[in-house]
């Protein structure tokens, strides 16, 4: 599958009628994890460099494994690490998720690192991205701002208050809501409660704000059932649990099945 088809990802997520994309979420820093999970019917793969254990080399190789499987790879960077954002785009990431974007200043700095002029000041050097996409330099330069997406995480009180202004920043293509951090913030540290009716009210309001700005909405879902609910709510891109949960749930299910048959 050619790079151009993978890069159609930006068009799909922006379209508002993709039917809702479901992405893998991988924190275990081995490109072979991408190789395996990309075989499933995920629309994309996210590598988590904020709370996962990826470094630049393993992430670049993880992006390569996604490309091999014909799946777009989006990377969540550590907080404020916008230099890393542009390096990951150079390595062929189809999008970057930046955590804790709390203000227009944060959003502008993020867009600056991920978009070429006139939207930003991304520095030139996409050697691996050009290898992956097969695009010559002039075509890569002409299409990179639209073919890759910059996604700002909304997950604090400050970000909620500034959501409209963040969405209005040119170069921010969409938002990704972190319901865990948002629930901690909204309860002043009292609760980790990402899947509640109160949170759903906030999520629906943020989807509306995205629609008003013509931008897309992404969210973390802690399991498949929650991901389905979030898709019904209207999200354009959802997570259906992280690699570690899926791995352990699979293992727990196999052990339980074996013990059940043994004792039947
Ligand atoms: C959050 O829910 O806070 C996230 O960052 C998604 O894992
Ligand atoms: Mg978070």
- State pLDDT tens for residues 187-229: 999 999 999 999 999 999 999 999 999 999 999 999 999 999 9
Q: Which ligand is nearest to the CA of 220?
A: 1
- Cα of 12 from ligand 2 centre, angstroms: 25
Cα-atom radius of gyration of the chain, to the nearest Å? 18
* Whether the bond into 80 is cis, omega within 30 of 0: no
> Nearest to residue 76, comparing CAs of 44, 103, 105, 108?
44
Question: What is the count of structural domains for the chain?
Answer: 1
Q: In the chain, how many H helices and how many E strands?
A: 14, 8
pLDDT digits (tens, 9 = 90+) for 124-151: 999 999 999 999 999 999 999 999 999 9
- Confirm if 23 and 238 have CB atoms less than 8 A apart: yes
CB atoms within 10 A of CB 143: 15
The two tokens of residue 96 are 């970057």
Whether ligand 1 lies within 6 angstroms of the CB of 180 is answered as yes
Confidence of residue 2 (pLDDT cuts 50, 70, 90): very low
* pLDDT greater than 70 at residue 4: no
Give the whole-angstrom CA distance, residue 158 versus residue 105. Answer: 12
- Cα of 112 from ligand 2 centre, angstroms: 22
Element (H, E) at 246: helix 243-263
Give the whole-angstrom CA distance, residue 233 versus residue 9. Answer: 21
pLDDT, residue 16, reads 86
pLDDT, residue 9, reads 96
For 20-39, the DSSP string reads: -EEEEEE-S--HHHHHHHTT
pLDDT digits (tens, 9 = 90+) for 77-120: 999 999 999 999 999 999 999 999 999 999 999 999 999 999 99
Confidence of residue 18 (pLDDT cuts 50, 70, 90): confident
pLDDT, residue 210, reads 98
Whether ligand 1 lies within 6 angstroms of the CB of 176 is answered as no
Reduce the secondary structure of 68-90 to three states and give it as a string: HCCCCEEEECCCCCHHHHHHHHH
pLDDT digits (tens, 9 = 90+) for 146-170: 999 999 999 999 999 999 999 999 9
pLDDT, residue 1, reads 39
- Confirm if 67 and 92 have CB atoms less than 8 A apart: yes
Q: Which ligand is nearest to the CA of 176?
A: 1
- Provide the CATH number for the domain around residue 54: 3.20.20.60
Whether ligand 1 lies within 6 angstroms of the CB of 179 is answered as yes
pTM, 2 dp: 0.97
Percent of the chain with pLDDT over 90: 95
Average pLDDT over residues 36-59: 98
Domain that holds residue 77: 2-263
- Which residue CA neighbors atom 6 of ligand 1 most closely? 178
**The CA-based dihedral angle spanning residues 156, 161, 164, 170, taken in that order and rounded to the nearest 10 degrees:** -60
């Amino acid at each position: 599958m050619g790079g151009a088809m993978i890069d159609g990802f930006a068009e799909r997520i922006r379209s508002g009628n993709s039917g809702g994309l479901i992405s893998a979420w991988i924190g275990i820093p081995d490109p072979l994890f991408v190789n395996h999970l990309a075989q499933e019917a995920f629309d994309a793969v996210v590598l988590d460099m904020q709370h996962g254990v990826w470094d630049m080399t393993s992430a670049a190789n993880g992006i390569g494994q996604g490309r091999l499987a014909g799946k777009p790879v989006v990377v969540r960077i550590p907080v404020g690490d916008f230099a890393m954002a542009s390096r990951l785009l150079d390595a062929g990431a189809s999008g970057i998720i930046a955590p804790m974007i709390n203000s227009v200043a944060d959003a502008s700095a993020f867009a600056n690192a991920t978009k070429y002029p006139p939207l930003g000041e991304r520095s030139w050097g996409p050697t691996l991205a050009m290898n992956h996409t097969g695009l010559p330099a002039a075509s890569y330069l002409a299409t990179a701002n639209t073919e890759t997406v910059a996604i700002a995480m909304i997950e604090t009180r400050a970000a909620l208050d500034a959501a409209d202004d963040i969405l209005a920043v040119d170069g921010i293509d969409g938002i990704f809501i972190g319901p865990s951090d948002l629930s901690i913030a909204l309860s002043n540290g009292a609760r980790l409660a990402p899947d509640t009716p109160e949170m759903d009210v906030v999520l629906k309001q943020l989807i509306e704000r995205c629609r008003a700005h013509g931008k897309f909405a992404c969210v973390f879902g802690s399991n498949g059932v929650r991901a389905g609910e979030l898709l019904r709510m209207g999200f354009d891109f959802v997570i259906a649990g992280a690699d570690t949960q899926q791995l352990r749930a699979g293992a727990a299910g196999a052990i339980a099945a074996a013990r059940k048959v043994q004792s039947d």
